[in-house]
Amino acid sequence: MPPAKRAIRKRATRSPRRPLLWLVPARWRSELSRVLIPQPRIAARVRQLARQIERDFAGRDLVIVSLLNGTVLFLADLIRHFSLPLRLDFIGVSSYAARTTSGELIFTKELRLDVRGRDVLLVDDILDTGRTLKRVLEKLRRLRPRRVKVCVLLEKRARRVEKVRADYVGFAIPDLFVVGYGLDFAERYRNLPFVGVLRPQRGGGRNRDVR
């Protein structure tokens, strides 16, 4: 068998349970321990989510509210699959401002659109403890929308402390510090096209104190 075909067969028979180190670009191998969700899986799952959301909101006056900043890549890929009319706005939240304690949340950007009587899809990058999502949902519901549904790219069920849930979940993941596809550590790694696991020596612990 030619060497090229042997290499292809070897890659195709890799166990899916093994860390996908071969997918980590050389530039990032000293910082990332593995690729948790490669780009093709993300793209396929985002298309599935978009189809489900379109069915559920067919014929409705949809407003998408996205949390800054980690949702940007996920949001862009999601909404380009929609054919239904929609409006888009953003809420900014932060738990890293000076003189804040762990668990305290600051709203850095308010909604511009009026969501009263409208269907709202809240989009976030990761649902972790649920503290951030709980506060944002409380704020949105005070604005009297018709209904609010939640869509997240990632969900860490093991870390949940608040009784909140997402209606649309891209991937349930273990309690790992993940970066890429919009998620960051110290504002780095957002541009990676996959979701990877940060090495502990690079600061990999948990993604958020509040989220």
Give Cα 15 distance to the centre of its chain. 26
Identify whether the C-beta of residue 153 lies closer than 8 Å to the C-beta of residue 37: no
Specify the residue for token string 């696991």: 197
Residue 28's Cβ-side half-sphere holds a number of Cα atoms within 13 Å equal to: 23
Closest listed residue to residue 49, CA positions, set 181, 182, 172, 170: 170
Kind and range of the H or E run holding 127: strand 119-127
C-alpha to C-alpha distance for 83 and 90, rounded to whole angstroms: 20
114 is catalytic: no
Residue 100's Cβ-side half-sphere holds a number of Cα atoms within 13 Å equal to: 14
Contacts of 104 (CB under 8 A, 6+ apart): 95, 210
Q: Which member of 77, 119, 125, 128 is catalytic? A: 128
> In DSSP terms, which residues pair with 48 in a beta bridge?
none
> In DSSP terms, which residues pair with 178 in a beta bridge?
197
Strands (E), the chain: 32-37, 62-68, 86-94, 106-109, 119-127, 147-155, 168-172, 178-179, 195-198
Residues taking part in catalysis: 128
